[in-house]
Amino acid sequence: MQTLKKTLLLILFAACWACSSTQTETTKADVATMDQLAERYVKTLLKLGQYDSDIVDAYYGPEEWKPTGEPTDSLPANEFLTEFKAIQQQLQAQDTTNLATDEKRRLAMFKKQIIAAITKVEMLQGKKYSFDQEAKLLYDAEPPHYELSHFDSILTAIDKQLPGKGSIAERWDAYRAKFEIPKDKLKLVFDTAIAEARNRTKAHYKLPENENFKLEFVTDKAWSGYNYYKGKGYSLIQINTDFPIYIERAVDLAAHEGYPGHHLFNVLLEQNLVDKKGWKEYSIYPLFSPQSLIAEGSANYGIEVAFPDQDNLKFEKEVLFPLAGLDASEADRYYAILAMIGQLDFAGNEIARLYLDGKINREQAADMLVKYNLYAKDKALQRTRFMDKYRSYVINYNLGKQLVRNYIEANSGTDNNPAKRWQLFGELLSNPNTASMLK
């Protein structure tokens, strides 16, 4: 009897071992397939980037994967679509049964990224999407809709706070002039803000020893600031000086473009997903993809993570205002008005939707930006240039921030638990995430 029991146990053990071994081999095969698809995806995106320089925001993968030779005179859209759709088909066929949780997230994100790549090729080919369709396909997001009248009560409240006569935009422009950073103080103020943002971030995350950046001031751009991540922990950060730069923008841009914003995001992706896990699809950052909603949203929310409201105001009044040679006596009032103006952010999305869907022209869009976002007219026209160039990308800043904030706060990363907020923020930046995953 004992011999029979032992025999049965051995048979059961062998069967379990064989099953486990088969599952392990299946999992390895699935992961290997994703690795092969990742290489094809990256190489194809790099080739596509030869036809539109905005498509590849950053690349820090193998040098030999870069295309050689000159691109053809016209976009071979069908070739790109054929390859991306072939990759998509193989991703859809992947069996997720035996995949680890992180590999399942990898696959889910990869599927969203390939939808965005296909959509971008179709758009380059001339296909038209509505603002909302484009946002969903490129960024996996559904922009909320607001009536512009929703923002009128906010404008009324701002109106009561501003001194002087004239329109709200004119009075705001005149009032905030006293908070402009003199051009000869820009470098000192920004260097100080970035150093503070970096110190606060490094207190919570272990960054590569050689991690660094270069700061440049530029002109004639459609944006106010940009981070060009070069790989190996290094970024080029550019600040546009076409228009006046006000004191609050020092911390905003230091955190957004640097720490714990775009620079940190790319450092953590490279460190955790490319170097440690070998997920080569993260060696490329396609700008028009779901990755951008997380990138821009986390960069904007990261300002508050590193510089909570009152702490930020204290740092600016005590450190940055004196460095810029500005009077801090009006700072409290100024920042209170800025907070109210921040409630107008989503008005810009509504204006972009109307403009890009062809319901208003450029001049009308600029006038609405003056009214609802309090831009000076020349700044408003610059913003329409941004809409022309980046289209529904505008949602990534405010909707992205809202989604990131909601996710972190829903998981206990609240104002009164900053350590948990930093932890969740770092985890968010170090793993595959897209808008639908945060809900």
The reply to whether 282 and 377 lie within a common domain is yes
pLDDT of res. 22: 46
For residues 404 and 383, the answer to whether their CB atoms sit within 8 Å is: no
Q: How do the residues of the chain divide into helix, strand and coil, expressed in percent and rounded to 5? A: 65, 5, 25
Domain extent for 52:
2-127
SS3 call for 230: strand
pLDDT of res. 32: 81
Nearest alpha carbon to residue 194 among 102, 115, 263: 263
CA distance from start to end of the chain: 57
pLDDT of res. 45: 98
The reply to whether 305 and 186 lie within a common domain is yes
CB environment 358-382: b (16+ within 10 A), e (fewer)? eebeeeebbbbbbbbbbbbeebbbb
What is the maximal distance between C-alpha atoms in the chain? 101
The reply to whether 158 and 18 lie within a common domain is no
State the Cα–Cα distance between residues 262 and 67, nearest whole angstrom: 26
The reply to whether 100 and 169 lie within a common domain is no
The reply to whether 93 and 182 lie within a common domain is no
Q: Is the dihedral of CA 374, 379, 383, 388 positive or negative?
A: positive
State the Cα–Cα distance between residues 350 and 367, nearest whole angstrom: 13
For residues 240 and 214, the answer to whether their CB atoms sit within 8 Å is: no
pLDDT of res. 30: 64
State the Cα–Cα distance between residues 280 and 35, nearest whole angstrom: 7
pLDDT of res. 181: 98
For residues 393 and 292, the answer to whether their CB atoms sit within 8 Å is: yes
Regions of the chain where pLDDT drops below 50: 8, 10-12, 14-15, 17-20, 22-23, 26
- Rg over alpha carbons for the chain, rounded to the nearest Å, is 25
Give the global pTM.
0.91
Tokens 């600031």 label which residue?
225
The reply to whether 251 and 307 lie within a common domain is yes
Residue 133 in any domain: the answer is no
Residue 259 in any domain: the answer is yes
Nearest alpha carbon to residue 307 among 293, 318, 295, 291: 318
pLDDT of res. 5: 55
The reply to whether 215 and 99 lie within a common domain is no
Nearest alpha carbon to residue 131 among 368, 387, 367, 433: 387
For residues 386 and 223, the answer to whether their CB atoms sit within 8 Å is: yes
